[in-house]
Amino acid sequence: MNPQAKLVFALSLLLGTTITITSNHWIMAWAGLEINTLSILPLIAKSHHPRAIEAATKYFMTQATASALVLFSSMTNAWHTGQWDITQMTHTTSCLILTSAIAMKLGMVPFHFWFPEVLQGSPIITGLILSTIMKLPPIALLYMTSHSLNPTLLTLMAIMSAALGGWMGLNQTQIRKILAFSSISHLGWMAIVIPFSPKLTMLNFYLYVLMTSAIFLTMNAVKVLKLSTLMTSWTKAPALNTMLLLALLSLAGLPPLTGFLPKWLIIQELTKQNMAPTAIIISLLSLLGLFFYLRLAYCATITLPPHTTNHMKQWHTYKPTSTLIAISIVMSIMLLPISPMIPTIL
């Protein structure tokens, strides 16, 4: 793709995201979502492969439907209350439609079907954008309307997302699909706590972006797309694969890594809200995700391919170290000590 075109699409993404997260009027928020959708489509389809074209088509149809629902819910609310302000979403039916629309935008259960397919058909860096930056505007809309959302519906969708994200990831061999189901599972954790502590949801989202960015960038550096090729990546970059192991365990939520922090705080918040059974259920469902993270880690670091020579390393595949990967991996495994400062933020 032309570098100038890439720059235009990247700036459009930034513009659309900024418009949505800074607007108070529903029409501006909707316009930002549309700019975002139109600017990511060429990045998904840039390889001109039939799978990429199919992914772009699925993404466009899903996002167009979700945007129409966002517009419909805001118009219904304005019709009944006379308010176009995002924070004044008070009509019950409008809130239900909005929750469904944002769940479709994010890829939460039961509107999750498009996300793994689109991620599988996209280049790995575009997959990173879809899993991180593209989720910020819908999460910001959830944050701004959190006081009027239905907690029962969100809890149900969150538990279903955590369960299905774990179960569907178990038998996958394509790494992009595994990361897609991982994203669905993490969305469950974010959605379950947003009616009670929206700031905690945003903290969870930022830490998720850090951890998943580290993994996507590492996979891009070692040029790995499926488990069978992940097994041979140790010989290319042993140090990078060791850090990948820690980043995967952090994404699984194991202490003393960064990923344990949001899960710990969310379970604490649910317990304060007298939702201990819900906290237990979602904690047990995270074990499903732990299994496929461990499988990825096992393939990346413990399984070695057969060697025809005595050399353990492929001398001709050395690449300069990426500062971005180093920073993202270090932050994704070493931020747990900041936990004493969290109560002052929340």
Backbone phi and psi for residue 83, each to the nearest 5 degrees, phi listed first: -110, 130
Q: How far apart are CA 313 and CA 333, in angstroms?
A: 26
Provide the total of helices (H) and of strands (E) in the chain, helices listed first. 16, 0
Query: For residue 138, which of 36, 15, 55, 259 has the smallest C-alpha distance?
Result: 36
| Position 57 pLDDT exceeds 90 | yes
Show the tokens assigned to 149: 């959302």
The model's pTM is 0.92
- Percent of the chain exceeding pLDDT 70 equals 95
**What one-character DSSP code corresponds to residue 300?**
I
Query: For residue 141, which of 78, 179, 190 has the smallest C-alpha distance?
Result: 190
State CA 184 to chain mean position distance.
7
Show the tokens assigned to 286: 């995270």
Query: For residue 287, which of 159, 198, 163, 193 has the smallest C-alpha distance?
Result: 163
**Directed axis angle between helix 175-193 and helix 198-221, to 10°?**
170
Give the pLDDT of residue 250. 94
Mean pLDDT throughout 93-104?
94
**pLDDT confidence band for 307 (50 / 70 / 90):** low
120-172: per-residue pLDDT in tens?
999 999 999 999 999 999 999 999 999 988 899 999 999 999 999 999 999 89
Q: Are residues 148 and 181 in contact, defined by beta-carbon separation less than 8 angstroms?
A: no
Ordered by start, the domain boundaries in the chain are 1-149, 151-306+314-346
Q: Are residues 141 and 26 in contact, defined by beta-carbon separation less than 8 angstroms?
A: no
Q: How far apart are CA 177 and CA 173, in angstroms?
A: 8
48: phi > 0 → left, psi -120 to 50 → alpha, else beta; which?
A: left
